[in-house]
Amino acid sequence: MASSDGLPVAGFRLAAVSAGIKVPGRLDLVLMELAQDSTVAGVFTRNAFCAAPVQVARQHLAATIPRYLLVNTGNANAGTGGAGLADARRCCEAVAESVGVAVEQVLPFSTGVIGEPLPVDKIQAGIAAVCAVLGEENWAAAAEGILTTDTRPKLASRHLELDDQRVTLTGMAKGAGMLRPNMATMLAYVATDAAIAQPLLNILWTQAVEISFNRITVDGDTSTNDAAILVATGQAAAAPITDEGDPRCAVFAAALQELVLELAQGLVRDGEGASKFVAVKVGGGSSEQECLQVAYTIAHSPLVKTALFASDPNWGRLLAAIGRAGIADLDVDKVDVLINGVLIAESGCRAASYTEEQGVAAMAPSDIHIEIRLRRGDARATVWTSDLSYDYVRINAEYRT
């Protein structure tokens, strides 16, 4: 069963309050509490200029099992040097002192403007308030509390059966710009009450991230603050899953991948200024990496993205992007291009059956499927992206004002 209402997960409590970090009255401080003996998997940005909270969270996750996740919006605490690291640790200390755990059992996360000092005093002042309202039912508030330029929360849930016992999965994510994760997304948190052994949880999370958060792009930029966390509290009645060979593992993995794909696609649909949700499907490649290379070249092309915004079937821009994707020995005479099922280019040229009227009709919907057939192998891959609009420029031009 699927739900977008944020089903509670046993052993996982969360809350959101307003700490006045950037905008007074806006939910901007989120705390999540993990049951004792939960297992936790995390992936983080590959940007070399990773933010202070990313560095601290990595260190703490490597040192012990986390009990609390602290998120602030309005300030990225990135590009802040040693002072930023100290500030991230001070926030962890405030949580640890308030709830009585080791500092290393708190993972910090931040998102917002880069290069500004973290307002630690405001975050410290909000800790008591957020601790006081922790509850399993607070997913909707937390999903709102992690947003920045997003226009709406991204929240998804699933029920599934393991050993005839109900297991729950719920997750939330944020990110609308500076979004080409190359690991996960700007911020994503998924929790389940299933019991999953730590090594297996790491494998399942890496696999899920790879086919979802690692397949989306809004603008080709990888944030300094990206993080994605999976928590398994073990509070469900189903017996623990410890081995990939366990038949239940495949059932759980499928539900997890379905959920994170929904979240990832939700991020693209809410991309800054986006009016189009675009799936770029590349097939017939000699390898998956080759297909991804073509798909990302199309998805990152400003000329393609502006044509999408204009609903203009300017298929020459697609051919140009394919041609510069860097595919060795590409036979352009074998390439086909389809938009929403309409064959536009065939064997590297305008299809004999194609008319401009067909192209205009194909580009009109808000959901666009671009299919590229390379006809040089059996590999395939899909990337999801959005168009490039006037609003994207305005939002990012005015981000700090």
Catalytic residues: 185
DSSP characters for 150-175? -SS-EEEEEEEEETTEEEEEEEEEE-
SS3 percent helix, strand, coil of the chain, rounded to 5, is 35, 25, 40
Contact 108, 187 (CB under 8 A): no
Residue 188 phi, psi dihedral angles, 5° rounding: -150, 140
Distances (CA, A) of 263 to 22, 140, 208: 26, 14, 11
How many Cβ atoms are within 10 Å of 154's Cβ, its own excluded?
Answer: 25
Residues 6+ apart with CB under 8 A from 290: 327, 374, 377, 379
86 exposure class (CB count in 10 Å sphere: 0-12, 13-18, 19+): middle
Contact 109, 231 (CB under 8 A): no
For residues 147 and 176, what is the distance between their CA atoms, to the nearest angstrom?
9
